[in-house]
Structure 1
Amino acid sequence: MSEGDVEPVDFEDIDTDPTEYDALADAAVVMRVNEHGLYIVDDEETAVSSQGQTPEQALANLAEAVDSYREASVDETGDDWL
């Protein structure tokens, strides 16, 4: 890999499944690894991304970020200002 390249990661090639995380159960998750070995994951449904040193860490971080995104997207006040 050259500088700035990323390589897609197939979930069948690693021992981690995004559906193990409740927040990602119905998500369309894609993972890639950059030239420094950092795993980057995206939830294509919410456009939320995260990263980690391992696939497991990246997915755990993404699940937490997606949870936060969904919590922030809920308007519990009843105001329709968005």
Structure 2
Amino acid sequence: MAVTVRLFAAAEAAAGRDEDQVDAGTLGGAIDVLSGRYGETMTKVLGASSFLLDGVAAYERDAELIDGQRLDVLPPFAGG
């Protein structure tokens, strides 16, 4: 399943880009692909992040991804 991943804040910094594509069938699979692609810093960021699938919060690693879906990676934000 090709999914567009939008990366924000620390996730964008860890990847050096604000968007990527992954082929994964589940949220956990996408997390694993991103960790493998971008390394230890990204793995730490993903461990603290929240995720949205087409704008809806996703909490379970086994959440199914659909081809063409958008996955937003939202690390904790500071400021106000």
TM-score (norm 2): 0.29
Higher normalized contact order (CA 8 Å, seq sep 6+, divided by chain length): 2
Higher Rg: 1
TM-score, structure 1 length as denominator?
A: 0.28
Which protein has the bigger strand share? 2
